[in-house]
Structure 1
Amino acid sequence: MQGDGKDAGGEPGAGAQAPAPDDAGATPSNTAHANSIGQGEESFKLLLRGIDSLYLSYQGKLKDGKKAELEKLRELARNYDPRESARAQLPIGEHLFEVLDKGSGFYPFGLADYAFRIRLASEKAKQIPVASVQVSSEFLASVGVQEAERQLRAVLETLVDLEGGEKVGRADLFADFATDFPMEAIHRDEWVTRAEEIHTYSVKRKLSGWTLGLGGPIGARLYNKTLEIESHSHKFFFHGIWEKNGWLPIDEIWRLEFELKRHALAGFGINALSDLQRASGSLWRYLTTEWARLAVTNAEDQTRARWVTQPLWIALQGLEWDGNEPLNPRPMKRDRAPEDGWYLRQGTSLLASFMAKAGIASEAEGWLRLGEVMRQLVASEPEKYGQSYEDFILEKVRTKQRQYNTGLNGHEREPGQDVEEEDPAARAYRRASKGH
């Protein structure tokens, strides 16, 4: 999305008190919510709400020997020979991590798979968390917050001697909804917010959303999620979740999302994930009533704080929260490979281009001839490729297996190795994943 303006017009009262946690035992709402929101009788239907972005950190230190192991794998990742770099992988239980060739800041080691992006500190870093982790939004939508953290802890316990519990570094609370409320009619002055910066965005002159206060401790986004998925993130797994909750593909889905960074979370007394889950309902009410709201313009009253709230925003304020499980959890693929549709698009484009160039009308002949041409190209330049066509392709496959977390390269069982032999780290993961 491209920004087309901003308004530095913050509201007073940025030092408001943190909200109190919800009372225990509140009944969660796990079904789609639909109603009329007044004025022109616009409709409102909740399709999903929960925690999207989640960053966690852990105190502790690397286990003995792990630094050397990670350094060796990182050097493999840096190797210019793709046959060597493809082996920069670390299997832990059900997870197969790509070992990254570089870290960031005080975190020299990086691991990534479909569920977690993990940064690990060296033994010398005493004043920072030993592990900083981003949990993928698809994994959160698939298994829920509690299960995601349980699996993450099981992974980390094979690498780190943990000290204490997790700390939430960032969390995004969101609600996805369908409405026929005229979003294009929202005027900048109708935002009554503590944020000092307000930006509006558009794609091909069509309103795509608003952002409030991004870059600060708290930020908000109200944006066209269907458009964002199609044009940017390609997180099409949300379509399946929405459909289970009554979404019709002809309806545009909008998302209201609040981004809370560590400073804001600490101000609300939120440290552990359990704190966030208990307080999520109160947080949502604070964010949609005290921190930001959408009002109805009243030309006769210059004090915007007295303007009445838009019916759409009232519906959003009233959403029920439990902060725990997602609506309709769904199975997810356990790798980072593209969806099958990507191969159809890429393969069709490649094959059609080659067949058009060669004047071929048969699809089967096209694939056969294309393979022959590729084989001949590799064989004709031994100085460039230095290997057989089969080895060249296998090299590419292993590189992609490392990136996609789909296969373990270069770790075949050596002759005479005991099949039943179990690595100590694998044993620790197995015990942790079972709750021992």
Structure 2
Amino acid sequence: MRLGLNIVANGAHAAGWRMPQALTDACTDIRLWMRMAQAAERARFNFMFWADGIAVRHSAKSDEELSYNARIDVFEPLTLIGALAAVTERLGFVASASTTFNEPYHIARKFASLDYVTCGRVAWNVVTSWSEQEAHNFGAERLLEHDSRYERAEEFVDVVFGLWDSWEDDAFIRDKASGHYFDPAKLHTLNYRGRHFTVKGPLNVARPIQGYPVIAQAGSSGPGQNLGSRIADLIYTAQKTRESASAFYASVKSHAAAAGRDTEQMLVMPGILPVLGRTRQEAQDRFDQLQERVHPCLGLPMLAETYGDLSGLDPDGPLPEPLARSNAVKSGHEALIRLGRQPGMTIRRLYQIQAGASGHNIAVGTAADVADLMQEWFENGCCDGWNIMPAFLPEPAIEAFEWLVPELQRRGLARTEYLGDGTLRGGLGLPRPPFRSRGAFAKSSLPVGA
């Protein structure tokens, strides 16, 4: 199975930073990040993953309520990757960048540059921004509607792929004798005009080492699956049960097949937050400590997009009816409603679940217990690997490297050596896209000036 390390700010559990062993400033400790990257590489993880946003994203009613949220001060991931690439050799890096509040030329240039800086170890997690705070940071009164965000994203990635194909792989001949720096026959100026973008090109970076950086995508809604099936090498998803994971896996693979993709070349990797102990009781005690540290001022805003303001209700009472719709993450909104309808669910219990891993699977037990779950899903058509989400830093990450991975390796489920040519694509077993392999632009495209 492929393995990724997904670190969210100070940890994937929203209250993890309050644990006695946690480093409270882990989110901006570059030396810690370097040690984590090197340890992940020793454990033969394929990549580190950042699910990033370009705002302080929250639903708090006031600054006082917001002050309980520890996901405020985080590194910009592309900057961080440059530092971590310098202290690693094989570990890949997956960074989110929004198609809603960026321009294609910027993204194409940054990721092409990082592909060279990392020697072919970078991936772009294609995301559409989901928070109103991001809209407010970029001159908009409100966020684009969900379907409009995905319409823009479809065109955005077409333009980025086209810019990455500005140059054939061997275009730069750098011939001192003739004076030719590149072969003009191997330059392909984009000349793109569509509904959302007009981009002439060419890109002022050579074609990336990997052809295209690995493409990750995390949308689980209908439009999200359509986009992912067309462009993604990695699908990142939140699934809490084997049944839902199996259904999602079958759905995205069928979408890929319908799009003419080789389904073996699109990897589905759900997130999992392991709470490990040397015994099951030790693991359960740690999990209970984590859940008890979820303050209501932290937990209640996590439900606001789906249920509105719950502060006046009994936290140990039942949930009200959910709001009719949400313009945020639609798949997350629907998953939260399903959880809220489980028998005996209370407001407190639901926000504790949400704080635990933002809707991802939480596995509590020994390394063997967690490996059992991972193996069951992997061998029964639920996933192609996992994104490991440490609850806080650094202890749970180290335990994943030193306890969980060796258990998986003993079972023949995790690699003991990297595969491939040193690139992230090679390590994941993915082929390098040939020139113009995805050069199918949106139907609305016209040459610039037409």
TM-score range, shorter chain: under 0.3
Q: TM-score, normalised by structure 1?
A: 0.25
Given the two structures, how large is their TM-score scaled by the length of structure 2? 0.25
Q: Computing the radius of gyration over CA atoms, which structure comes out larger, 1 or 2?
A: 1
> By percentage of residues, which structure has more helix?
2
